[in-house]
Amino acid sequence: MTSKFAGVVAALALALAACGSGGGGTTGNGAPSGPGTATTIEIGSLYEPQNLDNTAGGGQGVTEAFNGNVYEGLFRLTDAGKVENLLAEGYDVSGDGLTYTFKLRRGVTFHSGKALTAADVKASIERVLAEDSQSARKGNLKVIKSVEAPDDATVVVRLSSRSISLVYNLSYVWIVNPAAKDLATGEDGTGPYKLEAWKRGSTLSLRRFPGYWGARPANDGVVFHYFTEATALNNALLTGAVDVITSEQSPDALSQFTGNPDYRISEGHSTTKLLLAFNDRKAPFDKPLVRKAVASAIDDAKLLQSVWAGHGSLIGSMVPPTDPWYEDLTSLDPYDVELARKELAEAGYPKGFRFTLDTPNYDPHPTAATFIKGELAKVGITVDINVITADEWYTKVYKNRDFAATLQEHVNDRDVVWYGDPDFYWGYDDKQVTAWVKEAEQARTADEQTALLKKANRKIAEDAASDWLYLYPQIVVASSKLSGYPVNGLNSQFYAYGIKKS
Amino acid sequence: MARYLLRRTAFLLGSLLAAAGLLFVLLRLLPGDPANALLSVGATPEQIAAARHQIGSDLPLPEQFWSWLAGLARLDLGTSFVSRLPVGPEIAARLVVTVPLTLLAFTLAVVVAVPVGFVAAWRSDRWYGLLLNGVSQLGIAVPVFWIGMLLVTVFALRLRVLPAGGFPRDDWADPARALTSLALPVVTIALVMSASLVRYVRSATLDVLGSDYLRTARALGSSFAGAMWRHGLRNAAVPVISILGIELATTFLGAVVVESVFTLPGLGTMLVEGIAEHDYPVIQGVLVVSTFAVLVIGFGADLAQRLVDPRLRAHVGGGRP
């Protein structure tokens, strides 16, 4: 009897030890998980939503947590960058390109149980266009003249002019239940997950929605754990408190994971560009030759090496390789100090000049500013680094345009079109580029659009409208037990429904 | 005593009101626009104006102040500009982390620092007295985040016995897990706090050890322990208690560095984020609550001093200003 009992104890101890060393057992933050219990994926991120509404300034964080997971659009932008039908089953375009008729998927319900109708889609699109909307896509959708819902399954959108990106832009419009109250702190979407709880400053948890119309997610829920410090985030992955990091921002930390079979590092395509944006309205940067000289005086490759230790890439323009109109333009303003000196002399600044560089106070901007200061000193340009907060940046640079040059990361894809807007903060004003960008949006075919935007991109690069220092890497680090997670995270999206833990 | 309590309570409420008013004005004097936190690159001038209107920062200041004060009287701290969540409940959620963190660290620090400081003074000429003194000086010099990172490296990354950070999603539903999450942060704060406390305890004890009354008590036949117990500790406690009050109040909000190292959703982090976003309701709410806490702690320290020192009690009826 006693030996039997000892055997049971030993077996229990072994089982416990196995659980403990499994790493996926009880973690600091998460619920216990393992075979037999529901699987929850613990996701580590640096981007907590500001609030839960992308038309009320929710920011990058809410896109990451909610796009495709809690809310769905008529269309989905896949991690590979393709646009496919989601809540729309298909659509027709009128001959003049001004009327789009969308057929809605049937049998879709919101998390509250209400069935999706065309009226909801109409209200959702109008929400983005509303006067108080803070949606980043509002400008792109301004061409929408009216939205109608002739029957429950049909939505008709009329445009004031052709818009070839309409379907693409609609992939960012969440279809919400307009009857839902307070979408800034709650939700009512149609996605595979519903919001379980948002504990501000700490976690946001999503549970699988049993009434989801589409394929059942590969897990029962996900929890986003928010960190303010990259080191703390890496430690959480190292101790098994999280299973995956959506976007590694600390290249120094990668060595902890490389060569370790317990982790997998994926480098996908990012759309975030680091810009040295000139104020193109004001001397000395109103002269393209001066801007070109600055671009040629800075060794971007060395900067990228020092900030990202070999990850990331040089693009030489505003267009990342995932945009259809990408072209490698790094050769236009090559790193060439002699050329920079020559161009400066030709522009009337043989002895250089002095300017203030408004630098946001968060990484990697201060590092880049110091590097640029050193590089430009070699051609006689003195840089005064003025470190500012994100808030000051919006007031001083973005609204008041009171700056000579600034550093800023631009995160969205397809944003070369800002160079077609002379009112944008950098004030690049070229009639030809403005016309090309406008024509591209009204193009009849994607090829036509691509050709026009290629021309525009080449022109801004030739003019060195800004200096595009580099394209960020998009690095996802995950436990090797995990599969099915997105690696590109285009525009900070992070679809969680395919993630499996073995 | 009743009159004293009444006077202190009135004083407490008055200070709170004055602090609230000052806070409101000072915040508005800071440069910056709370609407900026809601913008994204590409925001149009109309969107900027809409953001201001949405959060009500385009209303006249007196109007904003009165509505805030009226809310305060109803114990309603308002709604965050940015997250749109009510500020009061969020502060409550953070206090669930911050209060135990502060109190545990404080208790641990006192339990360690008082005997250590006493021994460091009593045996200041022995090698271990000198050693304790030296170690406490080192403790003051070392930055708190470094101690935190060191503890994480040893106990979380190498030994894997404690979590590297975070706090359970269900708070204290499982007290053992919550305590485990707080273990390293508590030790970190306690180490730093006790380092400086040791210095205060040591110097207070040294004062007492060199005092005439202690020598007299010994001369009258008391044992060292007896004299120390009857006269020494009480006298040494008075300055230490006021320092303890200050330390406790500082830790309440000052734990922000530790919160960041250990990813704890505490009050300090909430304040720092609120400041970065110019989220006035959040800043005001956190500061009102912490001002209140600091005043209460000061009150508590005052009471404790009266308990150990009869001379302070004697002044109660004496009509202090």
Q: Which residue among A134, A236, A398 places its CB closest to the CB of B38?
A: A134
| Residue A37 pLDDT grade (very low, low, confident, very high; cuts 50, 70, 90) | low
Summarised one tens digit per residue, pLDDT across range B103-117 is 999 999 999 999 999
Secondary-structure breakdown of chain A: helix, strand, coil percentages, each rounded to the nearest 5: 30, 20, 50
Sorted by sequence, the CB contacts under 8 Å of residue A328 that are 6+ apart come out as A315, A316
- In this structure, the answer to whether residues B115 and B227 fall within a common structural domain is yes
Question: Could you tell me if B279 and B91 are in contact, meaning their C-beta atoms sit under 8 angstroms apart?
Answer: no
- In this structure, the answer to whether residues B51 and B187 fall within a common structural domain is no
Summarised one tens digit per residue, pLDDT across range B239-293 is 888 888 888 888 887 788 899 889 999 998 899 889 888 899 999 999 999 888 8
- In this structure, the answer to whether residues A284 and A405 fall within a common structural domain is yes
- In this structure, the answer to whether residues A246 and A343 fall within a common structural domain is no
The CA distance from A456 to A325, in Å, is 10
Strands (E), A209-251: 221-226, 244-245
- In this structure, the answer to whether residues B3 and B64 fall within a common structural domain is yes
Question: Could you tell me if A404 and A357 are in contact, meaning their C-beta atoms sit under 8 angstroms apart?
Answer: yes
Task: Dig out the tokens for B166 from the structure.
Answer: 């975070």
Q: Is A399 within 8 Å of B181 when comparing Cβ atoms?
A: no
**Which chain A positions have a beta carbon within 8 Å of B165's beta carbon?**
28, 232, 235-236, 241
H or E element at residue A166: helix A166-170
- In this structure, the answer to whether residues B180 and B225 fall within a common structural domain is yes
Bridge partners (DSSP) of residue A203 are: A199, A225
Greater confidence (B232 vs A7) lies with B232
Among residues B78, B83, B248, B261, the alpha carbon closest in space to that of B184 is found at B261
Chain B, nearest residue to A131 by Cα: B50
Other CB atoms within a 10 A radius of the CB of residue A177 amount to 23
- In this structure, the answer to whether residues B110 and B146 fall within a common structural domain is yes
Q: Is B84 within 8 Å of A30 when comparing Cβ atoms?
A: no
What pLDDT does B229 receive?
80
Does some domain include residue B319? no
Query: What three-state secondary structure class fits A323?
Result: coil
What pLDDT does A139 receive?
85
How far B140 CA lies from chain A's nearest CA (Å)?
24
- In this structure, the answer to whether residues A278 and A410 fall within a common structural domain is yes
Q: Which of B13, B44, B74 is the last residue of a domain?
A: B74
- A392 pLDDT exceeds 70? yes
What pLDDT does A209 receive?
97
Query: What three-state secondary structure class fits A145?
Result: strand
- In this structure, the answer to whether residues B96 and B223 fall within a common structural domain is yes
- DSSP 8-class letter at B277: T
What pLDDT does B132 receive?
86
Summarised one tens digit per residue, pLDDT across range B156-169 is 999 999 999 889 98
- A165 pLDDT exceeds 90? yes
How many Cβ pairs within 8 Å bridge chains A and B? 155
Does some domain include residue B189? yes
For helices B144-151 and B175-209, give the axis angle rounded to 10 degrees. 130
CATH number of residue B248's parent domain: 1.10.3720.10
ipTM of the complex: 0.85
Q: Which residue among A50, A131, A201 places its CB closest to the CB of B37?
A: A50
Q: Which of A172, A188, A204 is the last residue of a domain?
A: A188
User: From the candidates A33, A226, A235, A275, which should be mutated to test the interface with B, based on the most B CB atoms within 10 A?
Assistant: A235
Q: Which of B43, B74, B105 is the last residue of a domain?
A: B74
Report how far Cα A209 is from the mean position of its chain's Cα atoms.
Answer: 25
Q: Is A236 within 8 Å of B43 when comparing Cβ atoms?
A: no
What pLDDT does B226 receive?
83
- In this structure, the answer to whether residues A144 and A38 fall within a common structural domain is no
The CA distance from A293 to A450, in Å, is 29
- In this structure, the answer to whether residues A399 and A448 fall within a common structural domain is yes
- In this structure, the answer to whether residues A227 and A127 fall within a common structural domain is no
Instruction: Tell me the torsion sign for CA atoms B177, B178, B179, B180.
Output: positive
- In this structure, the answer to whether residues A195 and A304 fall within a common structural domain is no
Q: How many domains does chain B have?
A: 2
- In this structure, the answer to whether residues B136 and B269 fall within a common structural domain is yes
Task: Dig out the tokens for A278 from the structure.
Answer: 């000139």
What pLDDT does A6 receive?
44
Q: Which amino acid is at A22?
A: G
- In this structure, the answer to whether residues A101 and A39 fall within a common structural domain is no
Q: Which of A171, A188, A205 is the last residue of a domain?
A: A188
What pLDDT does A34 receive?
43
Q: Is A201 within 8 Å of B94 when comparing Cβ atoms?
A: yes
Average pLDDT score over residue span A120-128: 96
Query: What three-state secondary structure class fits A144?
Result: strand
Q: Is A395 within 8 Å of B84 when comparing Cβ atoms?
A: no
Which residues constitute the domain of residue A5?
A: 1-70+191-266+475-502
- A316 pLDDT exceeds 50? yes
* Tokens 């016309």 sit on residue: A435
CATH number of residue A409's parent domain: 3.10.105.10
Does some domain include residue B82? no
Question: Could you tell me if A269 and A489 are in contact, meaning their C-beta atoms sit under 8 angstroms apart?
Answer: no
**Which chain A positions have a beta carbon within 8 Å of B177's beta carbon?**
26
User: From the candidates A42, A46, A134, A412, which should be mutated to test the interface with B, based on the most B CB atoms within 10 A?
Assistant: A134
Q: Which of A188, A211, A228 is the last residue of a domain?
A: A188
Average pLDDT score over residue span A474-481: 94
Chain B, nearest residue to A29 by Cα: B168
Which residues constitute the domain of residue B55?
A: 1-74
Helices (H), chain B: 2-29, 45-55, 61-73, 87-122, 127-141, 144-151, 175-209, 212-219, 224-227, 233-254, 256-261, 267-276, 280-308, 310-314
The CA distance from B35 to A131, in Å, is 15
How far B165 CA lies from chain A's nearest CA (Å)?
7
- In this structure, the answer to whether residues B156 and B275 fall within a common structural domain is yes
What pLDDT does B163 receive?
92
- In this structure, the answer to whether residues A25 and A39 fall within a common structural domain is yes
Diameter of chain B measured on Cα atoms: 86
Does some domain include residue B80? no
Ramachandran category for residue B171: left, alpha or beta (phi over 0 → left; psi -120 to 50 → alpha): left
Query: What three-state secondary structure class fits B4?
Result: helix
Q: Which residue among B31, B38, B278 places its CB closest to the CB of A57?
A: B38
- DSSP 8-class letter at A217: P
- In this structure, the answer to whether residues A77 and A36 fall within a common structural domain is no
Q: What is the mean pLDDT of chain A?
A: 90
- In this structure, the answer to whether residues A335 and A465 fall within a common structural domain is yes
Task: Dig out the tokens for A60 from the structure.
Answer: 């990058």
- In this structure, the answer to whether residues B107 and B134 fall within a common structural domain is yes
Please state, for a pLDDT cut of 70, what percent of chain A lies above it.
Answer: 92
Does some domain include residue B17? yes
Other CB atoms within a 10 A radius of the CB of residue A480 amount to 12
H or E element at residue A90: strand A88-93
Query: What three-state secondary structure class fits A387?
Result: strand
Q: Is A232 within 8 Å of B261 when comparing Cβ atoms?
A: yes
Q: Which residue among B50, B157, B277 places its CB closest to the CB of A235?
A: B157
**Which chain B positions have a beta carbon within 8 Å of A51's beta carbon?**
82-85
**Which chain B positions have a beta carbon within 8 Å of A199's beta carbon?**
93, 169, 265
Average pLDDT score over residue span A156-168: 95
User: From the candidates B38, B41, B85, B96, which should be mutated to test the interface with A, based on the most A CB atoms within 10 A?
Assistant: B41
Task: Dig out the tokens for B113 from the structure.
Answer: 């620092």
String of DSSP letters for A10-47: HHHHHHHHHHHHTSSSS-SSS----TTSPPEEEEEES-
- In this structure, the answer to whether residues B20 and B104 fall within a common structural domain is no
Q: Which residue among A235, A410, A418 places its CB closest to the CB of B152?
A: A235
CATH number of residue A237's parent domain: 3.40.190.10
CATH number of residue A113's parent domain: 3.90.76.10
Does some domain include residue B282? yes
Q: How many domains does chain A have?
A: 3
- In this structure, the answer to whether residues B38 and B99 fall within a common structural domain is no
- In this structure, the answer to whether residues B252 and B157 fall within a common structural domain is yes
Q: Is B32 within 8 Å of A236 when comparing Cβ atoms?
A: no
**Which chain A positions have a beta carbon within 8 Å of B269's beta carbon?**
201, 228
Q: Which of B14, B48, B74 is the last residue of a domain?
A: B74
Burial of B219 (0-12, 13-18, 19+ CB in 10 A): exposed
- DSSP 8-class letter at A67: B
The CA distance from B190 to B192, in Å, is 6
Please give the model's pTM, rounded to 2 decimal places.
0.86
- In this structure, the answer to whether residues A435 and A494 fall within a common structural domain is no
Does some domain include residue B119? yes
Does some domain include residue B316? no
